[in-house]
Amino acid sequence: MSTLPAAIELTPEVVPDDIRQELNQPYRLDRQVVEQFRADGFVHLPRFFSPAALGFFDPLITRITLDRNPHKDKSLDELDTYGRAFIQVGNLWELDPVVRLLALCRRGGQAAAELMGCDGVRMWHDQALYKQAGGGFTPWHADQQYWPFDSGKCVTMWIPLQETPMEMGPLCFGRGSHHKNIGRDMTISDDSEKFIQHEVKRQGIDEVYKPYALGEVSFHYGWTLHRAGPNTTSQPRRVFTIIYMDARMKLAPRTPVHRADWARWTPSTCAGRVLDDPLNPVLYQGSPATEQTS
């Protein structure tokens, strides 16, 4: 087995020492948590980030997101279901050297690798997902429907930048749904909401819907079904996400949607080869981990 390239190291001077150190420290995961994650397809991890760290990055991420909001000239009434669900801006790590430190941090990469059972992880991409005040629901979907991967070893870390009560629209997960083939060819839409909701009910899949405390994050597999409720508060729901993949993931495009993501997130990679484009740096490399069985 070939050796992975060294994980990227970043230490911008403007970031306070305690926050920089926090981003490089591992988050302790016991075996029971890892096993539960692999069974359920998701996990909530409390106190993953300190309030100080989130408070430091929040205004930077918010500025970039609002500046690049593709819907800034439209009201919610003028948008479709997808547009009302959230403001979506990708690869902030390319746009700001300070946000880059959070997006590429060792703490997140190590947790992702341990949860999946990989000896290393790469960046797929990051995203800001801001649900505006009064913003609509996010339909049921599976993220990996969009991604041209040859395995299911990919996870999203969902990082709320504020305490997120039910009224703001936190994530709802379908427990164990990554083991089922439900709606895997459906993009996020009213149709995916209707079809997947029906199958979730029909197959008796447990819907886990809970608020997030400040500093709590969640991880979920690319095939884990999830949705989010509307934001009925007067404040935006501010969320930053980082998507990790096995460092040995290979490009396997099969659909037009896959080809679009190929062009956007890993343009120099050839089909059948490891996704080692400059946009996909190794974020963590450790000793060989215990492989997931699913």
30-49 pLDDT, tens digit per residue, is: 999 999 999 999 999 999 99
49-107 pLDDT per residue, tens: 999 999 999 999 999 999 999 888 888 888 888 788 789 999 999 999 999 999 999 99
In a domain, 10, yes or no: no
Q: Which domain holds residue 95?
A: 17-281
pTM, 2 dp: 0.92
Confidence at residue 183, expressed as pLDDT on a 0 to 100 scale = 95
In a domain, 12, yes or no: no
Q: Which two tokens stand for residue 211?
A: 């608020």
> What residues form DSSP beta bridges with 212?
164
105-127 pLDDT per residue, tens: 999 999 999 999 999 999 999 99
In a domain, 233, yes or no: yes
In a domain, 121, yes or no: yes
In a domain, 211, yes or no: yes
Confidence at residue 290, expressed as pLDDT on a 0 to 100 scale = 47
Cα dist from 79 to 72, 75, 108, 195, 235, whole Å: 11, 7, 33, 22, 19
- Separation between Cα atoms, residue 110 and residue 182, nearest integer Å: 30
In a domain, 290, yes or no: no
In a domain, 5, yes or no: no
Domain with residue 105: its CATH number is: 2.60.120.620
In a domain, 294, yes or no: no
* CB 222, CB 136: distance < 8 Å: no
Count of domains for the chain: 1
Q: Which two tokens stand for residue 89?
A: 């801006």
